[in-house]
Structure 1
């Protein structure tokens, strides 16, 4: 993971979730555990860090806490949770942020993992959720591993949490000075409840008993005022009458919840504690259930309905009467709207200062909270932003755009836009506008402020439609399409470049959910942008057009594309701009899928130049890949006790060498190191004696067996004498030398060159055996065969007479001259040299290049490999089968465009005209023959060398050759 530089600190990494199979299985287990336990569970809780909010990997947190001894042990160490957060990649530069981060991390483990930790690691049933998850991790109720209901009750009693009696309770109106002295906060004063006269009977009914609760006026008022407008309309005319204590009664549920929030109160203290049941001390009210509510657009809460009613009354000529405003109810506490509603109401107010405040915050909210900020949750927000953005018309034209939300708007006024069905003639209206004289680099302060507010409104829409839900919602808001047409047809001024790019971004997110025909104003507007010289404008317009109806069942036909646009696209394909090429190919893929469009393409551009360039793009970004495939694996020859005989020249030279040099050279010539092999001491000693019997019989000195064994360890560093103890009593111990093995072919101890055996078959007694003498190089072996086996005499200066001889080739497994034949010696020599090794010496002297290459051992037969080379373009992995590589990028788009052309060009009228010319004597073949015949060889080459594109090229060749 790439490090992130902290200010003046070491390299740290940012905490991220590794979605491995282990993580997915762990989250599934946690989800099932919390569902069974009846507790809430959030799989990816968010924590604020210095790098922004991050989602916690609960598996990493779980493993980290376990590695440090568990939750209870970690709580015993001071600042342990802060250190753990740093280890997990969560960092803060200030102490305040570190404290908040460590507490929230501890709270996440306590809430989501503590119970599972007890169950998983200790095999015990975790404590009830009432004394674990429903309590804060900051509560001093002891370790969670040993927490029980009894411990929880005693701890609560010691901490003073149980409800005091009336005698023990201090006056609520008098603050305690000791609280401030001990650092505690001052207690809140009692709530002032307005007096409400009793309307019920003065006597209690006979059925009332100690098991019935009588709510007071204070409680009733708390119910009416404490829960906002949802309960403010509920009236209790008989609130002094006795109520049965039904747990399902909403009144008692609300009272219990308020009691849990406010703490102890005299209204909930039994009149006689001695006769009250002790079971109520353990009772805890059920936590409030949060029900997600979505506002529904109604005439009572959506001002757009009111606006439409006013417009309808204005059209009908009726007076504009407003409904009386409901007076505010005094005594109801209201904290005020949240920032979302504050910005929405400020935007609707029309006050410039309020709108500036609203738009500034809406831009921030839409950028930071774009994943949750939805239009459908804030009724009127979309309409308010669009109306604010439409004010751009009054800045640059003599017009003030307005939206009419009724069925038949006045078409005579070009400033009135149809808000229900969209304005079909919006482009014609824009064409009739008279622009104002605006200087690009000099504006008034009021003009700049208005333009800034308009830009912020468009930017807010752009940020919000990046969310798919918002894009789907805005696709049904027809005034937005009119707004995009207006923005994209504004004058060509530098001050408007930014707002036009925002409009194109909005169009790119909207078009996948729109059905646009060739006459649609937005479609024509996007096509007009392709005549621009701005690269960003061209890119976004191409993407927006290519994505029309992408997420719908309708087909994007992309008709009536001007010829100049098609010519521009073909020119852009020639540029070395991958992003622009990719956008152009996406456009052409959609465009060539329709037969009529291929006909237009043939008329607008020279396809004989386009097709070869598309074929060249099949190798875009390709690289040559080489790979060695193993045909036969490497083999190791088994070790043998048989030691090869010394070659004649080496035998003669070593015979005249003194010890111990003779022993060194003999070992180097006939043995090599092998850590996995060994040879018996008796076998190597006997082989040494047999090689130098003539020396042993002479007066010259010979090494003893002990000295010889010691010399083996001097020549080969890793060789050592060992004894293999036998288990059976009838077997003697085996004395071996481990770490060496006999060579199959001797080598020259000085040059390290291998000797080659003579495999000429000779008669030895009743059997045919190989000559098996060793020689260096082919020249010495050739002289040996001539003189020894063929009986040819070599003259002076090495000259040989070329005469006819009666001879045969008795080389092992040779079938050419198996019988004696009259043949010239030169001809026989040419054949025999095929059996001899090359005359070129292979020098393996230390430090040479050949020695560096010869790292393998002589007893190892190298693997047979085959080198393969092919072209590889960009590929992607299949999500369902990661082992499968699929083509991607520009090469894939290019082959798809070629396939569309080959499939649809034969269905055009130009194909019929070309075939008629063929019947009149012109060159044969249709358009496929004309376009693809020059590149057919390259297509076959790509098919054979590019595995990812092979299937696509195959289908393309089938279309071309079938034609």
Structure 2
């Protein structure tokens, strides 16, 4: 090898090329990588104790919220409002205004920005406009501030604290005077809820008339020295009187609450019931006594009593149709009929007449009747009463005559249902009368269809035909007719017409009640209005009767005259509306006392 030639020896690796392994960090071999942030902060504090902010987690949540609202930084304000909305909803009881100084003032300052926002986007006289995204976002944050204040005012301590904030009251008044655009309705509702809780001022707005009336009522309730409700002009009072004729329950309730507070003063009452408007307002208040009343029936059971037994020596007039000089009836049959009929009407202390005494009295009741003993072949005897005969149809104690079935059946027929066929009619048989006795024509007709004109079974009598055997009727051929509908239509002509009840006089029905010792069902009509949890009157009807009571107490002579015209209606309502009965009774007593004094 010389120096001018470069010779490189060939090189071959003796090992196989393989991937190089990398270590995996685990809590065992690299514990420093698995230390949490708190431990890291502690380590930083230990390693670098002079570092600014080392080891501190920041201010508390409520402190950050208060500072964020005061800072005016948009991101911090948004964060603070969103957290306050959540906190006031989840744990509003813990959100105390006095515990966090400056928080309420910061919320009211945020609420005050609505005035400049409204003046910028809605100048005076402007109508509905298309808001941009910036306006919508600003209004949303203002609504959140109002919602937080509204939720905080649910606590009496916060309401007392807010009522002392003069700037807060001015901001609320400014919010209630916002333009009438629809975008501000939500904010006005929050403001009205705040006014209701504070009960120190109120201003009517068109968006919630009923809520404004309630605020006025709460303002004057229990504050006679500051009651200026009588200074409201007549046009507003007339409008309130007209609104009670509507079907809006919430609005009617608010108007009645206002009228109740308004009528506590005699001067206001005199202006309210001036004719001719006074007549109409009393009529409307009387109508509201049955507002949303639920009609129904109350069932009462009365226990009847037997009439006192009055002994008489005069024999009552007995029916003469059962007297027949040629007829007779067995004594045992008459005795059994007497027992079956009167056993349930006789008390245990007064048993029925003995058989011998009963038979003797028959000749006293019927002059032509006499007890006889007949000898019959075979040496036996038959005890009869000559001169009377059984009724063709039975009669109840109260004079209801039963209807006899006059359908004739064949004696040689084993079919008790009474379906006669043409083959059965051709066989010689002695017809017998059906013994059934029914109370009403309907029961008699059902008996005819079921027992005498029931469809024949085609498997047992394939050629069976029907006949009309009512009292010897010969309408159809003795062979019968296969058309059942035709036979039924004809048999319907034999049915008697239903007769009206004999006792249609109410006094006679009342006497019948006394004859029945059982309980008597009495149905009382009711028209009940709403009640509360204690079962007492509540809602619109209660407020209406309280206003009427003020009319009776403070309306002087004109009020008594107006109520006297509705006196019959008041008595009727007192009878059907049980929750208001005591209130209406007091109202009528007030009216009577006023009339007596006059």
TM-score class, shorter-chain normalisation, is: 0.5 to 0.7
Pair 1:837 & 2:508 matched: no
Q: 1:145-160 maps to which residues of 2 (within 5 A)?
A: none
Q: 1:90-129 maps to which residues of 2 (within 5 A)?
A: none
Which runs of 5 or more structure 1 residues have no equivalent in the other structure?
A: 1-174, 196-224, 226-327, 400-433, 515-521, 636-646, 654-669, 671-690, 692-742, 748-752, 773-783, 794-832, 852-859, 879-884, 907-925
**Contact persistence 2:95–2:152 (CA under 8 A):** yes
Distance 1:185 1:648 in 2: 118
Q: Tell me, what secondary structure is at the counterpart of 1:559?
A: helix
**Contact persistence 1:542–1:587 (CA under 8 A):** yes
Select 2:252's aligned residue among 569, 581, 591.
581
Distance 1:744 1:764 in 2: 10
Distance 2:344 2:35 in 1: 98
Pair 1:956 & 2:587 matched: yes
Aligned to 2:492: none
Question: Displacement of 1:546 after TM fit?
Answer: 1.7
For structure 1, which segment, 474-483 or 862-871, has the greater mean C-alpha deviation from structure 2 after superposition? 862-871
Aligned CA distance change for structure 1 residues 193 and 554 (closer, same or farther; 3 Å): farther
Pair 1:628 & 2:299 matched: yes
Aligned to 2:87: 365
Select 1:608's aligned residue among 269, 279, 304.
279
Distance 1:578 1:381 in 2: 39
Aligned CA distance change for structure 1 residues 367 and 650 (closer, same or farther; 3 Å): farther
Pair 1:478 & 2:166 matched: yes
Distance 2:251 2:52 in 1: 64
**Contact persistence 2:259–2:547 (CA under 8 A):** yes
Question: Displacement of 1:770 after TM fit?
Answer: 3.8
Pair 1:886 & 2:536 matched: yes
Distance 2:438 2:295 in 1: 35
Distance 1:744 1:874 in 2: 57
Aligned to 2:553: 903
Aligned to 2:146: 458
Q: 1:46-57 maps to which residues of 2 (within 5 A)?
A: none
Distance 1:554 1:179 in 2: 81
Select 2:526's aligned residue among 854, 870, 877.
870
Aligned to 2:570: 939
Aligned residues: 414
Q: 1:299-338 maps to which residues of 2 (within 5 A)?
A: 333-338=55-60
Aligned to 1:382: 104
Question: Displacement of 1:929 after TM fit?
Answer: 3.4
Aligned CA distance change for structure 1 residues 491 and 944 (closer, same or farther; 3 Å): same
Question: Displacement of 1:190 after TM fit?
Answer: 11
Question: Displacement of 1:369 after TM fit?
Answer: 2.6
Select 2:70's aligned residue among 322, 330, 348.
348
**Contact persistence 2:89–2:151 (CA under 8 A):** yes
Q: Tell me, what secondary structure is at the counterpart of 1:613?
A: helix
Aligned CA distance change for structure 1 residues 559 and 435 (closer, same or farther; 3 Å): farther
For structure 1, which segment, 458-467 or 893-902, has the greater mean C-alpha deviation from structure 2 after superposition? 458-467
Distance 1:936 1:547 in 2: 32
Distance 1:395 1:619 in 2: 49
**Contact persistence 1:629–1:866 (CA under 8 A):** yes
Distance 1:194 1:185 in 2: 14
Aligned to 2:381: none
Question: Displacement of 1:343 after TM fit?
Answer: 2.1
Aligned CA distance change for structure 1 residues 792 and 624 (closer, same or farther; 3 Å): farther
Question: Displacement of 1:864 after TM fit?
Answer: 4.0
Which runs of 5 or more structure 2 residues have no equivalent in the other structure?
A: 1-25, 307-327, 370-394, 404-436, 448-515
Aligned to 1:594: 265
**Contact persistence 2:41–2:55 (CA under 8 A):** no
**Contact persistence 1:598–1:901 (CA under 8 A):** yes
Aligned CA distance change for structure 1 residues 875 and 632 (closer, same or farther; 3 Å): same
Question: Displacement of 1:648 after TM fit?
Answer: 6.2
TM-score by length of 2: 0.58
Q: Look at both structures and tell me which one has the larger radius of gyration over its CA atoms.
A: 2
Question: Displacement of 1:486 after TM fit?
Answer: 0.9
Aligned CA distance change for structure 1 residues 558 and 333 (closer, same or farther; 3 Å): farther
Aligned to 1:930: 561
Q: Could you give the per-residue CA deviations for residues 547-606 of structure 1, whole angstroms, max 9, x where no partner exists?
A: 226588977552322222212211211011222111111111112112232234346981
Distance 2:365 2:118 in 1: 110
Question: Displacement of 1:364 after TM fit?
Answer: 2.7
Aligned CA distance change for structure 1 residues 605 and 497 (closer, same or farther; 3 Å): farther
Aligned CA distance change for structure 1 residues 337 and 601 (closer, same or farther; 3 Å): farther
Aligned CA distance change for structure 1 residues 565 and 188 (closer, same or farther; 3 Å): same
Q: Tell me, what secondary structure is at the counterpart of 1:610?
A: helix
Distance 1:605 1:487 in 2: 40
Question: Displacement of 1:188 after TM fit?
Answer: 5.5
**Contact persistence 1:464–1:470 (CA under 8 A):** yes
Question: Displacement of 1:329 after TM fit?
Answer: 11
Distance 1:482 1:650 in 2: 108
Q: 1:492-511 maps to which residues of 2 (within 5 A)?
A: 492-511=180-199
Aligned to 1:790: 366
TM-score by length of 1: 0.37
**Contact persistence 1:567–1:605 (CA under 8 A):** no
Q: Tell me, what secondary structure is at the counterpart of 1:455?
A: helix
**Contact persistence 1:396–1:436 (CA under 8 A):** no
Q: 1:406-485 maps to which residues of 2 (within 5 A)?
A: 435=123, 440-485=128-173
Question: Displacement of 1:897 after TM fit?
Answer: 0.7
Q: 1:472-551 maps to which residues of 2 (within 5 A)?
A: 472-511=160-199, 514=200, 522-523=201-202, 525-526=203-204, 529=205, 532=206, 534=207, 537-548=208-219, 550=221
Aligned to 1:78: none
Distance 1:388 1:510 in 2: 20
**Considering only aligned residues, what root-mean-square deviation do their CA atoms show, in Å?**
4.9
**Contact persistence 1:179–1:186 (CA under 8 A):** no
Q: Could you give the per-residue CA deviations for residues 606-643 of structure 1, whole angstroms, max 9, x where no partner exists?
A: 111000110111122223443333443999xxxxxxxx
Pair 1:572 & 2:228 matched: no
Q: Could you give the per-residue CA deviations for residues 695-748 of structure 1, whole angstroms, max 9, x where no partner exists?
A: xxxxxxxxxxxxxxxxxxxxxxxxxxxxxxxxxxxxxxxxxxxxxxxx99548x
